[in-house]
Amino acid sequence: MEHSPSSSDSSEDYGLLKQIPTLLHKSRLKTPLPPSQPREDRATTEVPMTPKRFALPFLPPSTPSHRKTSLHPSPVAYQPLLNPRAPPQEFSRLQQALYKTRAEILQLEINKTHTTENKNKRKRQQKKNRKKRFKLKAIVELAQIRIQKHGLQLCSEDQRTLDSLKQLLEQSETTHKPMSE
């Protein structure tokens, strides 16, 4: 006798529990959605999930990485076959070189601040840094030549990166004067 009312109470409680999430969900919705749409579809339509692609920090976030329109002078979608003037691998190589150059210049700045007691060791490090700076300067100059050769128009962020690289190199040259001079 005691079991039957308790079982009916539990079934009523379960029925109420089932309704709570829907009641909460309804109260959260500001505008009612059409009833023809099932609940599973609602979640996918509200937030479209886009896969994140790897992009270099100085690329504008709006530009998809497969279409380098920011570097291209024309607003038309980039077609590598129809436009032999600017091959697509040239863009990525140029950007990789600039990115790598910036990292290496910053590393040189770190090496400059780190002083060692051993004089010969310090001289060897200075020689290495000089060689590196020469190589990095060549990369920056080569980047400029390529830009002019292909008639590329760098977006403002890339141009800023190139300018900052030049400035960093000039600064490091003035601070890394050899001791003999």
Residue 65 in any domain: the answer is yes
Q: What is the pTM of this model?
A: 0.30
Tell me: do 9 and 94 sit in the same domain: no
* pLDDT exceeds 50 at position 82: no
Tell me: do 110 and 27 sit in the same domain: no
Tell me: do 42 and 80 sit in the same domain: no
Tell me: do 88 and 175 sit in the same domain: yes
Tell me: do 64 and 42 sit in the same domain: no
Tell me: do 60 and 41 sit in the same domain: no
Residue 51 in any domain: the answer is no
Q: Number of folded domains in the chain? A: 2
Tell me: do 21 and 77 sit in the same domain: no
Tell me: do 89 and 19 sit in the same domain: no
**pLDDT of amino acid 81:** 43
Q: What is the pLDDT of residues 97-143, one digit of tens each?
A: 777 777 777 777 666 655 556 777 778 888 888 888 888 888 888 88
Q: Which domain holds residue 100?
A: 56-181
Q: What is the pLDDT of residues 2-57, one digit of tens each?
A: 454 555 555 555 565 666 656 555 555 555 555 555 555 554 455 555 545 544 45
Tell me: do 35 and 99 sit in the same domain: no
Mean pLDDT over 56-83 rounds to 48
Residue 134 in any domain: the answer is yes
DSSP line for the chain: --HHHHHHHHHHHHHHHHHHHHHHHHHH-SSPPPTTS-HHHHHHHHS---------TTS-TTS-TT--TTTSSSSSPP-TTT-TTS-HHHHHHHHHHHHHHHHHHHHHHHHHH---S-HHHHHHHHHHHHHHHHHHHHHHHHHHHHHHHHT----HHHHHHHHHHHHHHHHHHHHT--TT-
Tell me: do 76 and 132 sit in the same domain: yes
**pLDDT of amino acid 54:** 47
Residue 22 in any domain: the answer is yes
Between 143 and 177, whose confidence is greater? 143
Tell me: do 96 and 18 sit in the same domain: no
Tell me: do 165 and 128 sit in the same domain: yes
**pLDDT of amino acid 75:** 47
